[in-house]
Amino acid sequence: MFLVGKFHPLLVHLPIGFLLIGLILYGWETFDTRKQFSNVIAPIFLLGFIAATLSCITGFQLMNSSEYNSIIVERHRNLGISLACISFYVWYLHKKNKGKKIIHFFSIILLILIIITGHYGGTLTHGAGFLSVKTTEKYEKDPVIVNINDALVYKDLIQPILKKKCIACHGSEKTKGNLRLDSEEHILKGGKNGTPISSDALLLKRILLPPDDDEHMPPKEKGQLTNEEIQLITWWIKEGANFKVSVKQLHKNATILAILNKKTNPKESINEFEQLPEVAPADAQIIQQLKAAGATITAISSESNLLHVNLVNVKDSTTRLWVNLAKVAPQLFTLKADLPFIKTEHIQYLVNANQLRKLSLKGSNVDDTIFKTIQLFSALQSLNVSNTKVTLTGLSQLKNNKHLRFLYILNILDSTEKLNLANVDIIDKAFDVPTLNTDTITVKESK
């Protein structure tokens, strides 16, 4: 019988459409007496009643699922039954051509029921606040954490992620798979598939699945987790998923340290919510060849063809590698090429990287001639040329890159000189963030 209930989301739109059309025609006829829709209004309300009845029947089967908040389900059910009854009575009033006052009154009641019933239905399907006028959650900025070492990992870092990306389907209003992620108690309790942070880390497995996989979470039509959010959840779970532990009590690799630094200095992060252009998808065969050569390639989101590319596992900078990279240059969003055998002539293959936002060449074998190519990256926001052969003379050419915001120039040949670039944060010193229990937020310059 549960299969019958699955037709409810399809059928539930029919009574809304029929009844609203009937109300519109009745209102039109009321305010413009020249219009006569009497012959069609009654049949439309009858169709609305039939559709509402079928929606109620399928809804009864669906409500047996424990995925939904029982209070809201009961309200939605009772309002749906009332809607079906009132729609039948409105049809009867039109059929018998009753007085205008009574038809007016029940028409208003019917409209109110459509709105409220739809509201509760939307809440069950999409979560609380779906019909509100609040700013979409994915555009809300995370709060700045002043003292990152003393911050609680779950409360200050993990819980905000779950609230933005998971609670709509795993909260008090809707509980898919009998799993709630809105509190420590419910996370530890788990759902029908067990505890999501247990040894097999089901939560982590689901978010790491390909977006097209039926088991991937969040569903591909929902807002997806960013790479940094996935890294934080992975770190927390692998470090024991302790709800009371603070940042300074956990081991942190370089990736996590960089993410935590953005939490205290959010202005250093690339704007992920800008309006990105549509680009054609990269050739799947070329992507496979690049991955075979050691490149790590991921899409920036399930809704974009732009790519993150990391050459960390590439063993040799061959011509074939760069010819293939040139073929995906229009899709490049970030490129990490921190390898000593990468030279200026290799980067010249990427002249068509018009959407490249972040380029890291730390420790590579590039020199000032690289800037002839970099000037072509009109969308570039972040550049790392630390530990390379570039000089301040070459860096001065970056004044034409109007979107550049962050420049990393640690240990370049003449880094003792002053470099002035408007609206660019220049990072020319390395810092160590202490992580012992006795440490504070004080940042010490590295020896």
Secondary structure of 297-350 as H, E, C letters: EEECCCCCCCEEEECCCCCCCCHHHHHHHHHCHHHEEEEECCCCCCEHHHHHHH
In this predicted model, which residue has the larger pLDDT, 162 or 133? Answer: 162
Write out the CATH class of domain 284-416: alpha beta
E strand or H helix that includes residue 31: helix 13-31
Query: Residues 435, 153: contact at Cβ < 8 Å?
Result: no
CA distances from 299 to 51, 227, 287 (A): 42, 10, 11
- Do 351 and 332 meet the contact criterion of CB atoms below 8 Å apart? no
Q: Which amino acid is at 226?
A: T
Per-domain residue ranges of the chain: 2-126, 138-268, 284-416
What confidence score (pLDDT) does residue 126 get?
65
- Name the band, by pLDDT with cuts 50, 70 and 90, for residue 121: confident
Cα–Cα distance for residue pair 177/130, rounded to 1 Å: 21
User: 3-state DSSP call for residue 140?
Assistant: coil
The pLDDT value given to residue 336: 93
Among 134-148, 203-217, 390-404, 416-430, the range of highest mean pLDDT: 390-404
Q: Which amino acid is at 158?
A: I
Comparing 37-41, 402-406, 439-443, the range with the smallest average pLDDT is 439-443
**By the 8 A CB rule, do 29 and 40 touch?**
no
Q: Which 3 state secondary structure label does DSSP give 157? A: helix
Query: Which amino acid is present at 36?
Result: Q
| pTM, 2 dp | 0.43
Q: What number is the average pLDDT over the span 93-108?
A: 90
Which structure tokens are listed for 216?
A: 């991937």
Q: Is the pLDDT score of 354 beyond 80?
A: yes
pLDDT-based confidence at 218, cuts 50/70/90?
A: confident
CB 168 within 8 A of CB 222: yes
Tell me the C-alpha distance between 14 and 360, whole Å: 54
Amino acid letter for position 286: I
Q: How confident is the model at residue 399 (pLDDT cuts 50, 70, 90)?
A: confident
